[in-house]
């Protein structure tokens, strides 16, 4: 990548790899919404159509193909239909595979690239890593990406299994005189990845032969979200030529040069809006990547099937005098102002209609109003009723954000830097943001004695909450609670407990007699698929030491369950005498134990119902110029 190509005659199409690049497809997002349920599938179909029309050699995806690790059968069926329609066929594959496929596809059924499988008829090979939404953390540790790999639709690569070090062996491909080394790193906790990089425990094997163009595809935070909560570009190896960066949803697909390492970064962004933020309103694209020997070019392809989305943020302080917000019915004035802005935004959305046959017509509208006084806020839900049938999201068109009023003077009466104080205020709020499992942890640490758990370990409850929120693992609750119930019954049957009072006394000793109960629970979960500790991605939540926990912070994508959550359970009643063992006494104890445990579990479910609601709410809510290294193709010669 040291010289530019000024004459297009030097570019031989037989030596040029063409790869369609996309990321964060999020198939199945909002699929139960009657208006927006098909948006993700429509956009993905357009991506596949562009691959077919441009006769690309391969498709490269940057993670989060699915919105959840265990998608619905409806989502899987639509995905299989699209892939079968567009990537299967009789077209010849022009990519020669050079590397050891046993190393590249260690988890696939036959450990080989799908277009070399005699039982598959592949026209366009798809290569993909997984992201944080479709990783292997769900029930059974088998994700949707693994299913696609098993069925031969996708070449699933870049999966890591060892948390102590990372060794990445590239996929080596060749077309004519162009050679490509493709490195993949699936999503992992940003704090842990940064630690491995700092400790030089990330090893990327270089090809033995020279002349390879080096691409790395990853799925991490790129924007800084606090210490260790993102992956600094400068921490990646300098020998890379291009990085395809997934996870960030705002489209920055035009390659940007890193001034320090001199490689380029392309951020495709998402193909569907999963949040009504400003970054999601940017034009969504996929990209056509052309590689010729040591040169490359990225041509953005705007997606015409995306639902129109208009975002606007207005500080009411800037229109306070114009609207006379210091007198009269302030709330009505702000509502009238919002009505004018919404109407104007709907008109702007019409300009985003492309004529694509399947493009949804109803637009997404988001108006964010920055308030200076609470009295300026009106009922946004009632306001949205009048826009049913005109916008796709009438219930959350308008959101309010209260600006902190800071009036501070120093000892001499001089005004201080309000902007700096406001920034400090925002940072403090961000640091206080916590995930659902942290709220559950704090709940049990601060709750009074009457609300403490008697049988379940609080750490297991935080683990349960995390699995429900992060992986939508719906069967985790039944398995954990059933495990505790069986363990408690076994414990009581081993005691001389024949009366209800003695059973309650024995339960007070249950946790004291089983200090490793939480570890048994996690072992039980691991045993479902016989996954060794070193190969279990979920172990990253359990094995973090104090440094990891502090580095993860409240805003980390993956947060360690706080060890302090583990408290001895408190029983009811005082210690007393015990009955006799064996015979009818043991049978009576077993029957009373089952009855007592069932009662206690019902009581604790009622006392702590807020935990499930916390999990549910949280689950539904998270240019550099092209220079000498880029190809100067003529579009007519493509």
Catalogue the active-site residues: 133
Contact yes or no for 285/301 (Cβ under 8 A): yes
From CA 606, how far away is CA 604, in angstroms rounded?
Answer: 5
Residue 63 near residue 186 (C-beta atoms within 8 A): yes
Q: How many CB atoms lie within 10 A of CB 559?
A: 25
Query: In the 8-state DSSP scheme, what is residue 451?
Result: G
Q: Quick check: helix, strand or coil at residue 13?
A: helix
> Residues with Cβ < 8 Å from 473, sequence gap 6 or more?
70, 137, 138, 139, 467
Beta-bridge mates of residue 296: 291, 630
Residue recorded with tokens 């609750």: 477
How far apart CA 476 and CA 478 sit, in angstroms, is 6
What is the enclosing helix (H) or strand (E) of 604? helix 583-607
The SS3 assignment for 111 reads coil
Q: What is the largest CA-CA distance in the chain?
A: 96
Task: Give the E-state strand segments of 356-489 in sequence order.
Answer: 364-371, 398-402
First to last CA, the chain: 20
- DSSP letter string over 120-169? --BSS-EEE---SSSSS-SGGG--HHHHHHHTTS-EE------SS-EEEP
Token pair 């198939």: residue: 27
Q: Is 467 exposed, middle or buried (0-12, 13-18, 19+ CB in 10 A)?
A: buried
CB 196 within 8 A of CB 165: yes
The pair of structure tokens assigned to 489 is: 């019954």
What is the rounded distance in angstroms from the CA atom of residue 68 to the CA atom of residue 392?
Answer: 23
- Give the span between the Cα atoms of 405 and 245, in whole angstroms: 38
E strand segments, 192-304: 202-204, 212-219, 242-246, 252-257, 264-267, 285-292, 295-302
Angle at 381 between CA 375 and CA 385, to 5 degrees: 125
Yes or no: say if 115 and 93 are a contact pair by the CB < 8 Å rule.
yes
How far is Cα 61 from Cα 215, in angstroms, rounded to an integer? 13
Tell me which DSSP letter residue 572 carries: S
Backbone angles phi, psi at 452, to 5 degrees: -75, 150
Residue 196: helix, strand or coil by DSSP? helix
Does the CA dihedral 346-350-353-359 come out positive or negative? Answer: positive
| Inter-residue contact 24 to 58 (CB < 8 Å) | no
């Amino acid at each position: 990548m040291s010289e530019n190509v000024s004459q297009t005659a030097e570019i031989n199409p037989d030596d040029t790899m063409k790869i369609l690049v996309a990321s964060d497809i999020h198939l199945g997002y909002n699929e139960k919404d009657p208006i927006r349920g098909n948006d993700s599938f429509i956009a993905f179909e357009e991506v596949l159509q562009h691959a077919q029309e441009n006769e690309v050699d391969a498709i490269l995806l940057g993670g989060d193909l699915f919105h959840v690790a265990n998608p619905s059968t409806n989502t899987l069926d639509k995905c299989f239909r699209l892939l079968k329609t567009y990537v299967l066929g009789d077209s010849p594959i022009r990519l020669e595979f050079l590397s050891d496929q046993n190393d590249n596809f260690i988890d696939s059924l036959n450990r080989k690239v799908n277009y070399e499988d005699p039982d598959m008829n592949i026209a366009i090979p798809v290569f993909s890593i997984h992201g944080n939404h479709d990783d292997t953390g769900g029930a059974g540790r088998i994700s949707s990406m693994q299913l696609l790999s098993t069925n031969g639709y996708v070449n699933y690569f870049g999966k890591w299994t060892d948390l102590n070090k990372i060794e990445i062996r590239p996929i080596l491909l060749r077309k004519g005189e162009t050679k490509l080394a493709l490195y993949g790193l699936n999503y992992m906790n940003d704090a842990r990845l940064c630690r491995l990089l700092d400790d030089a425990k990330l090893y990327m094997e270089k090809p033995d032969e020279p002349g390879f163009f080096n691409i790395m595809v990853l799925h991490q935070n790129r924007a800084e979200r606090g210490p260790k909560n993102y992956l600094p570009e400068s921490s990646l190896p300098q020998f890379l030529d291009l990085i395809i960066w997934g996870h960030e949803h705002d489209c920055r697909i035009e390659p940007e040069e890193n001034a320090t390492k001199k490689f380029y970064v392309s951020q495709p962004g998402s193909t569907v809006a999963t949040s009504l933020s400003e970054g999601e309103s940017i034009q969504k694209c996929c990209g056509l990547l052309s590689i010729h020997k040591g040169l490359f070019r990225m041509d953005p392809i705007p997606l015409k099937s995306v639902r129109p989305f208009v975002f606007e943020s207005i500080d009411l302080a800037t229109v306070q005098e114009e609207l006379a917000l210091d007198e009269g019915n302030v709330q009505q004035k702000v509502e009238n102002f919002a009505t004018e802005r919404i109407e104007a935004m709907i008109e702007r959305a019409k300009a985003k209609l492309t004529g694509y046959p399947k493009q949804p017509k109803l637009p997404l509208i988001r108006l964010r109003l920055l308030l200076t006084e609470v009295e300026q806020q009106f009922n946004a839900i009632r306001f949205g009723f009048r826009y049913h049938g005109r916008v796709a999201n009438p219930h959350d068109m308008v959101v309010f954000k209260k600006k902190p009023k800071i009036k501070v003077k120093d000892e001499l009466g001089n005004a201080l830097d309000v902007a700096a104080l406001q920034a400090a205020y925002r940072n403090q709020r961000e640091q206080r943001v916590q995930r659902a499992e942290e709220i559950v942890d704090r709940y049990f640490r601060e709750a009074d004695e009457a609300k403490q758990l008697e049988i379940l370990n609080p750490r297991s409850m935080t683990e349960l909450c995390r699995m429900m929120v992060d992986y939508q693992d719906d069967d985790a609750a039944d398995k954990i609670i059933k495990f505790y119930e069986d363990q408690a019954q076994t414990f009581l049957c081993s005691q001389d407990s024949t009366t209800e009072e003695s059973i309650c006394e024995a339960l007070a000793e249950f946790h004291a007699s089983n200090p490793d109960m939480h570890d048994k629970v996690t072992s039980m979960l691991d045993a479902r698929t016989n996954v060794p500790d070193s190969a279990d991605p979920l172990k990253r939540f359990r094995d973090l030491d104090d440094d990891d926990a502090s580095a993860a912070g409240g805003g980390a994508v993956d947060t360690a369950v706080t060890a302090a959550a583990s408290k001895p359970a408190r029983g009811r009643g005082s210690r007393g005498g015990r009955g006799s063992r064996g015979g009818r006494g043991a049978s009576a104890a077993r029957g009373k134990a089952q009855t007592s445990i069932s009662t206690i579990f019902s009581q604790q479910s009622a006392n702590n119902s807020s935990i499930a609601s916390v999990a549910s709410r949280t689950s539904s809510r998270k240019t550099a110029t092209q220079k000498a290294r880029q190809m100067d193709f003529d579009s007519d010669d493509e």
